[in-house]
Amino acid sequence: MIEKTINYFDISQIINSGQCFRMGKKENNTYFVIAGDKYLEISQVGKQCSFYCTEQEFKNFWEHYFDLDTEYEGYRKCINPRDAYLMNAAEFGRGIRILNQDLWEMIVSFLISQQNNIVRIRKCIQNISETYGEKKQTEDGRVYYAFP
């Protein structure tokens, strides 16, 4: 498990942002993310995040995936303070990160997303993964599928 204090990171906002459809809530403050052939559970209370993976997997994959090397405060400082609309938008989505997703998975997800809702998109992505992806299993026995 990797513990990090992260500004401008809210896993709930990220999951509900519509960027990726293989994410969800498990319980209370714990969420899961499937990206490519990787599975991650994250717990978050305030700015304190717990990533349930090895240090190597965090450094080699999840840190880049969640864009954690980017300081989002710098973007906020570039907003003209008189631009109330943009300031409000930045405040509303302050925990959303730009995900560095696999291009193929992102294109397929985008195509499926046309004229669909998030629940249907998630189900389509899950069906494609279960039909064509490699079956995987977490340490606690949860089965998931890699994106083909």
**How many angstroms separate the CA atoms of 96 and 10, rounded?**
6
**How many angstroms separate the CA atoms of 91 and 134, rounded?**
39
Query: What pLDDT shows up at residue 28?
Result: 85
Query: What pLDDT shows up at residue 109?
Result: 85
80-95 pLDDT tens trace:
999 999 999 999 999 9
Query: What pLDDT shows up at residue 116?
Result: 73
Beta strand pairing call for 135-137 and 48-52: unpaired
75-111 burial string, b = 16+ CB within 10 Å, else e?
A: eeeeeeeeeeeeeeebeeeebbbebebbeebeebbee
Segment-wise mean pLDDT, segments of 10 residues, the chain, 148 residues: 95 91 90 94 96 97 96 91 93 93 90 81 91 93 92
**How many angstroms separate the CA atoms of 18 and 124, rounded?**
14
Domains of the chain by start residue, with CATH: 2-145 (3.30.310.260)
Query: What pLDDT shows up at residue 64?
Result: 97
